[in-house]
A and B are shown apart, each in its own frame.
Chain A
Amino acid sequence: MTDILNALVALSNFVLIPGAAYGAQLALGALGVTLIYGILRFSNFAHGDTMAFGTMATILVTWGLQSVGISFGFLPTALIALPVGIAITGLLLMGTDRTIYRFYRKQKAAPVVLVIVSMGVMFVYNGIVRFIIGVGDVNFADGARFVITAREFKEMTGLDEGLAIRSTTLITLVTAAIAVALLFWFLNRTRTGKSMRAFSDNEDLALLSGINPEKVVAVTWLIVAALATTAGVLYGLDKSFKAFTYFQLLLPIFAAAIVGGLGNPLGAIAGGFVIAFSEVLITYAWKKVLEYALPESLEPSSLVQLLSTDYKFAVSFAILIIVLLFKPTGLFKGQSV
């Protein structure tokens, strides 16, 4: 019996909890991608770098706060800085839209042209981030590190396996839940949110109904700024900030958005967790859990790791391909152009 409990604790500690946190971060990223797709109708390659920019802005504000001695107690200071980071990112995205994207929108350019344009924007954002904060690892998490440490858990329960809950994990889950709740409240309950959905559903009819497309687009960029910055900051708190890592997040994020069905917010969330758990499950070394769960005679000798962690991109990719082959519109029905 204790063996089973130990197995469960180990499973939660190494698979379920980290997977959930990662899933929440991916989901927030995928929500941004899917909203841009739904409203502006292109796949935004600059999204990873938007996340990097937002995180960088938040880090700079955090440093400013720390230098004047402001902190958030046991919570990371970055959470106070987050709204400012969102605002700065919002300004950047609105500025980008005004100077760059709007021109192509007026021309009714093909989606693939906008994708290429977003590639240029990606370069510029990436350059800005490297220019300001450099390419190195930045660790900006402060406050309490653990809600509960492995040792405390063991003493509390008397089990052999510890369950460590890092505060960043908990913060990720709570913040992501709040962000998603706010987003869905906005989309389903407010006039502006509904007009965004209407615009995404049927652009011409939305225009006929008197919905102002420029306002819808502006609001979309602001929401994307909020989602991308939040996703980036949570990921950075949980791991660390590095410009290149954020660029690489593009792949799992897109995989999540496509798996869920591009343009479908609910799908983006589901997709985020599907991708995150697949990555963690397949790259986790199961030896420890199996040692507890199986009778001694069946215990594995190897690590029982299906794929090395370096292949985590391969996992998102494989899921992406499977979904594309069998259900091109995604698990939840997405749009197709």
Chain B
Amino acid sequence: MSLRAPLLFVAMALLIVATGLVQGWNLALTILNMGLISAIMSLGVNLQWGFAGLFNVGVMGFVALGGLAAVLVALPPVPDAWNAGGLRLLGALALGAAVLVAAVMAWKRKVGGRARALVLLALLIGGFFLFRAALDPAVQAIEAVNPSLTGYLGGLGLPVLVSWPVGGLLAAGAAWIIGKAALGLRSDYLAIATLGIAEIVIAVLKNEDWLSRGVKNVIGIPRPVPYEIDLQRSEGFAAQAAGWGLDPVTASTLWVKVLYAGLFAAVLAVILVLAQLALASPWGRMMRAIRDNEVAASAMGKNVTARHLQVFILGSAVCGIAGAMMTTLDGQLTPGSYQPLRFTFLVWVMVIVGGSGNNYGAVLGGFLIWWLWVMVEPLGLWAMELITSGMAADNWLRGHLTDAAAHMRLMTMGIILLLVLRFSPRGLVPER
């Protein structure tokens, strides 16, 4: 292996260290933590695109499902809400699922064209109204329970770390459904389908208050690491902090971030190792063979669609894990903050810039692009102030340009993506 990748990683580490020296370690650690999460998302997309050539632009949806998992697993249950309508709601959901299963079974029956279509239609329409009739009162009852604080069912009250694999499972489930429908069709169709499912997931999170409190947000998700305030109160930690030459407040903030970084780095390492093993395994070779020549692979008896479904589910699950980690880090689920440009397309920039098909490249891209995403704003502001420094303080254009600097991010990301695609389409760390 050439020195290129290690050198680039060292350079990336230096960038973060430099950020710490210039702008403070708090910011550097914040960037590092989201960089770790971004690297995992980027690995997930790389599994799909780099290994298999699948074009998934629904990353946001899978990430948000991971976030939902954090709520459903870690938050304490709301007993009043469960008493008010929990079982009825579960019953309604089961009914809805039963209708869908029945519809699929009716569809699979080989008999009769028009009769089958009519039965299917009746089943779906009747089932829908039945479902709504069962669901709506339950939802109303649940959402009526102390709406300003709860108004939802809550979670299972388990440790939040459990939510990380659960987030992966939720995302995998969604990926299975979407993959069943859209894989095997043209690549752009999968793209549109995933774009759609992502919007729908966000719509569900925003509207189904009984599930996620909707736009009222869920705050105070329990942490896997100590709270700053507890650290500050602890005698031992204060002494430690003094030993480092830091005041307890700063030290606790940094320490919590370091702990998170350790957790995230462990997950990243595990996923990276697994991804590397997968890439080198016969399964990975077959996947790349399919990517490079689908026709030849299917002529050799490979079930292309089934393989694609596997890798699509795996990649989406990785994104779901990253999503649960991110929500854990934030300590809150805010469905309104999920933006496709930030959570889908930015991850794509990471993969392409890093080097699609190369796991190390994807990880590097995750760090680098996240660093840029954070740094472009202050850099842009600085540039704008430089440009406008000759203008009067109340100049209209000056004000406009300085305000607009906040929007430099998207343009910068776009330009980076276009430049990489044009001049270095294999990315920083190319696939071997």
Taking CB atoms, residues of chain A closer than 8 Å to B199 are 248, 251, 313-314, 317
Report yes or no: A123 in contact with B413, Cβ–Cβ below 8 A: yes
Query: Helix, strand, loop or mixed for chain B's interface?
Result: helix
Tell which of A53-61, A109-117, A137-145, A187-195 binds the partner: A109-117
Taking CB atoms, residues of chain A closer than 8 Å to B181 are 321, 324-325
Q: Mark B399-412, 1 if CB is under 8 A from A, else 0.
A: 00001100111111
Given A130-B404, A317-B196, do A123 and B189 touch, yes or no (CB 8 Å)?
no
**Once A and B bind, how many residue pairs between them come within 8 Å at the CB atom?**
137
Confirm or deny: A178 has a beta carbon within 8 angstroms of a beta carbon on chain B. no
Report Cα–Cα, A42/B187, bound state, in Å.
Answer: 10
Report yes or no: A117 in contact with B207, Cβ–Cβ below 8 A: no
Interchain residue pairs with CB less than 8 A apart (18) = A43-B192, A45-B191, A112-B187, A115-B188, A122-B414, A248-B199, A250-B195, A251-B196, A308-B207, A310-B203, A311-B207, A313-B196, A314-B200, A317-B193, A317-B200, A320-B193, A324-B189, A328-B189
Having A251-B196, A254-B195, one finds 16 other A-B pairs with CB under 8 Å, namely A43-B188, A115-B187, A123-B349, A123-B413, A127-B407, A127-B410, A127-B412, A127-B413, A128-B411, A131-B404, A248-B199, A308-B207, A310-B203, A313-B203, A317-B193, A317-B199
Report Cα–Cα, A111/B55, bound state, in Å.
Answer: 12
Report yes or no: A123 in contact with B410, Cβ–Cβ below 8 A: yes
Residue of B with least CB distance to A124: B414
Confirm or deny: A337 has a beta carbon within 8 angstroms of a beta carbon on chain B. yes
Report Cα–Cα, A106/B288, bound state, in Å.
Answer: 26
Report yes or no: B55 in contact with A112, Cβ–Cβ below 8 A: yes
Confirm or deny: A126 has a beta carbon within 8 angstroms of a beta carbon on chain B. yes
Report yes or no: B408 in contact with A127, Cβ–Cβ below 8 A: yes
Q: Mark B56-98, 1 if CB is under 8 A from A, else 0.
A: 0100000000000000000000000000000000000000000
Report yes or no: A115 in contact with B191, Cβ–Cβ below 8 A: yes
Taking CB atoms, residues of chain B closer than 8 Å to A45 are 57, 191
Tell which of B11-19, B154-162, B340-348 binds the partner: B340-348
Distance between B379 CB and nearest chain A CB, rounded to angstroms:
15
Given A124-B414, A248-B199, do A324 and B185 touch, yes or no (CB 8 Å)?
yes
Report yes or no: B206 in contact with A310, Cβ–Cβ below 8 A: yes
> Would you list which residues of chain B between 333 and 380 have a CB under 8 Å from chain A?
339-341, 345, 348-349, 352
Report yes or no: A126 in contact with B410, Cβ–Cβ below 8 A: yes
Confirm or deny: B258 has a beta carbon within 8 angstroms of a beta carbon on chain A. no
Report Cα–Cα, A310/B348, bound state, in Å.
Answer: 27
Taking CB atoms, residues of chain B closer than 8 Å to A244 are 339
Report Cα–Cα, A42/B411, bound state, in Å.
Answer: 22
Q: Mark B189-217, 1 if CB is under 8 A from A, else 0.
A: 10111011101100100110000000000
Taking CB atoms, residues of chain B closer than 8 Å to A311 are 200, 203, 207
